[in-house]
Amino acid sequence: MGLSYLVLGVVAGLAAVERKGFLQAMLSRPIALAPMTGWALGDPQGGLLVAPPLELLWLGAVNLGAALPVHEALGTVAITGGAVLAGRALGVAVSPEVAILAVLLCAPLALVGRRADRHVEIWNDRLVERAEAALAGGDPGAAVRWNLGGLAAPFAVAALLAPAGAALAAAVIPAFLRAVPAASGPLRLGFFAFAALAAASGAKALRAREAPRFFYGALGGALVAGLLIGGALS
């Protein structure tokens, strides 16, 4: 149990670093991070269930200059971790009803993460001061190495908050579903409504010209195609 939270913390910390401080190769985006988180906890399928809606929900989480986005990586690890651990406590694989509860409980962590990022930026002013002092002291190599010190704070913030969010979900979700088993059906519907809204959020975030036409057109076209294929197969 404790090991799972340690793993979650490390995954969240590394994702927070990859997200801004190093590389930025999309590995910390929900579409990649959720399956990896699930895999790290032994349930890649659970991660794969939440990855598409979370990616689409936060498709517009973009860092433009000094304007900060929500911390989608932190939210993703907490939600995925919470869902997998709650499923494990219930003795089942991650189901839509577990996943939607994890989303409802942990998604606000993405906003908390943005607040933390602001403080990290202020904290980083000190690294520049240290670097300037080292340069004045005649050591340029040491001066610029303070840059890497900036990786520590985002790692620590995500490594602490993501397991905390997952722990909350892992405690609340099994208790709730055991107490109110009839909630499962409605929650399942809630998951699909959420996933559909997430797709709409992705379309809105892309800000293409004539986006409504493309979104509604593709939605309608794919629905008709799907129904026709489904009808032909049955």
Position of tokens 């490594």?
A: 159
Three-state secondary-structure class, residue 220: helix
Closest distance between another protein and the C-beta of residue 1, in Å?
A: 27
Residue with smaller CB distance to another protein, 6 or 185: 185
Closest distance between another protein and the C-beta of residue 162, in Å?
A: 18
Residue with smaller CB distance to another protein, 107 or 157: 107
Three-state secondary-structure class, residue 94: coil
Residue with smaller CB distance to another protein, 134 or 164: 134
Residue 164 burial (10 A CB sphere; 0-12, 13-18, 19+): middle
User: If you count DSSP H runs as helices and E runs as strands, how many of each does the chain have, helices first?
Assistant: 10, 0
Closest distance between another protein and the C-beta of residue 215, in Å?
A: 5
Residue with smaller CB distance to another protein, 23 or 175: 23
Which positions ≥6 away from 63 have C-beta within 8 Å? 20, 69
Closest distance between another protein and the C-beta of residue 88, in Å?
A: 21
Tell me the sheet residues that pair with 64.
Answer: 67
